[in-house]
Structure 1
């Protein structure tokens, strides 16, 4: 379960929705320069996340790092899934399905279980070849304001593999999907309007940072970028302004960073930001203007639970 899912679930949201406020920040409506035209916008959004990261690397703003797509490929290559007669995925004694966009877990019947989607050697070879060719293409990316169709196709391929790390219900057939001309064209348009100078760091950029033990407690939580002292989330959505949900998500990452630290990064976080890719605008806010420091512990308890904090307190007590 992602940080966003945890924050917006019926158990957590009532505890934190009053802690984050938009009152002291400017979240005015932005013009959509690039309006959505193609299908499967979520896939487009993940592809854009990847191309922005590779664009930062091409400009020397960030260093190469491990990508989630590689973890997804590894998982996919060893995939052996069990399903019940209704097609629901089986894990242990439970079935897992998706109902109206939400994951539903139920106790399973012991009958009618079969193996499904075992990737054979021939398919493995195809997937590995696509992955390697995509990486080779993107490692040659130049700091140009435009994106070729080949480069665009490469990040769509990587985003296919990304899905298999983040979504336990991803369908194997999705890994072989290729983008349409319309999807490639829309990604190229989004790339053209990126204000690269707004992402140029004074010190460093971290790609897909994690939060040590905090990420383990929140289902492997990782944010998109950290630019100097600012956590950045990339949004490729139709909404024309930064939402309270966006700010809650960013404050969640801030809380994890403050409590558990950031893997391979020592700077403190003072700011949060949303890059609205369809508007080409990076909206930046001071954390203290959105989340009162007095409420930070309450937010942390809502995310990780009192039991964890009690354990930490016990450990820190002098003998």
Structure 2
């Protein structure tokens, strides 16, 4: 389970709805980037990666957490190849990773692991080998983009690869179309990128990309938000509907509570959503959560229900 699933539990839905009033949605805009295919979820996740690349290129103060795609590789290794991971800390890039073979306690770098996978040469080994190669290529495209800011088809294809690889970790499912690309998805991502607005006038904005909420995330089986810009927490929605649903609202409230429980993440002053197809933000003050008379009761009940579900 994750925060997304946790907040859709009936008890949790009712808890949030009873304690926090949903703000009035006062945003009106025309769509600027119509979907080019029906690959809505795939394009949405790929754009999340593309937004991260954009922020890292444009702004100077960035705290960039690991990619979920790296977690997918770890999951494949542990589940299929019986490898432990050294060191045990958030994973950065494959070029910085070592792997520990729990059978003989030897330390493998990526090239060693690739050779071992070639020797194994079974279906699962080939799956892992392909994922490694696609992530390594994505890291190269990402690095080139940060140097030049040039959005190439290679960069876009890399974000599509990463989005597909994410599914392995999030849904425990191996996609059968890795390394394949629809032209419509490439064009869709290009137009979404083209309309990204300035999120901050300050070059030295403090930006967290895809941050987790340290131990607080474990309460709900995992939670990471999209972006925190200075004191504003934003979720990215690549949807063709300009709506602020109860589901979106509950998710933001969940993030707000986890940020309060977290040791490393400060309580945001604002919460909001960036509607990427409209190039618009809807932002509201977090006081509607933190300054309610019964907020401490809400937070306590939230933790209790998480402990009840996760034991």
Q: Classify the TM-score, shorter chain.
A: 0.7 to 0.9
- 1:11 aligns with 11
Give 1:118-197 correspondences, 5 Å limit: 119-142=123-146, 147-168=151-172, 170-174=173-177, 176-197=178-199
Give 1:229-268 correspondences, 5 Å limit: 229-262=231-264, 265=265, 267-268=266-267
Could you give the per-residue CA deviations for residues 89-116 of structure 1, whole angstroms, max 9, x where no partner exists?
Answer: xxxxxxxxxxxxxxxxxxxxxxxxxxxx
What is the alpha-carbon distance in structure 2 between the residues aligned to residue 214 and residue 128 of structure 1? Answer: 30
Q: Which segment is superposed worse, 140-149 or 267-276?
A: 140-149
Instruction: Compute the displacement of 1:268 (Å).
Output: 3.5
Instruction: Compute the displacement of 1:144 (Å).
Output: 7.8
Give 1:262-301 correspondences, 5 Å limit: 262=264, 265=265, 267-289=266-288, 292-301=291-300
Give 1:23-102 correspondences, 5 Å limit: 23=23, 25-61=24-60, 62-80=62-80
What is the alpha-carbon distance in structure 2 between the residues aligned to residue 199 and residue 222 of structure 1? Answer: 25
Give TM-score scaled by structure 2 length: 0.77
Instruction: Compute the displacement of 1:212 (Å).
Output: 2.3
Secondary structure of 2:176's counterpart equals helix
Secondary structure of 2:273's counterpart equals strand
What is the alpha-carbon distance in structure 2 between the residues aligned to residue 193 and residue 268 of structure 1? Answer: 29
Matched, 1:215 2:217: yes
What is the alpha-carbon distance in structure 2 between the residues aligned to residue 307 and residue 66 of structure 1? Answer: 25
Secondary structure of 1:166's counterpart equals helix
What is the alpha-carbon distance in structure 1 between the residues aligned to residue 223 and residue 29 of structure 2? Answer: 28
Q: Is the 8 A contact 2:138 2:158 kept in 1?
A: yes
Describe the shift of the 1:199–1:208 C-alpha distance in structure 2 as closer, same or farther (beyond 3 A): farther
Instruction: Compute the displacement of 1:35 (Å).
Output: 1.6
Q: Is the 8 A contact 1:27 1:243 kept in 2?
A: no
- 1:96 aligns with none
Instruction: Compute the displacement of 1:294 (Å).
Output: 2.0
More helix by share: 2
What is the alpha-carbon distance in structure 1 between the residues aligned to residue 164 and residue 307 of structure 2? Answer: 35
- 2:108 aligns with none
Q: Is the 8 A contact 1:76 1:119 kept in 2?
A: no
Point out where structure 1 has 5 or more consecutive residues left out of the alignment.
Answer: 82-117, 310-319
Describe the shift of the 1:198–1:27 C-alpha distance in structure 2 as closer, same or farther (beyond 3 A): farther
Alignment RMSD: 2.7
Number of aligned residues: 267
Instruction: Compute the displacement of 1:199 (Å).
Output: 7.8
What is the alpha-carbon distance in structure 1 between the residues aligned to residue 123 and residue 57 of structure 2? Answer: 34
What is the alpha-carbon distance in structure 2 between the residues aligned to residue 197 and residue 14 of structure 1? Answer: 33
What is the alpha-carbon distance in structure 1 between the residues aligned to residue 20 and residue 149 of structure 2? Answer: 36
Q: Is the 8 A contact 1:50 1:155 kept in 2?
A: yes
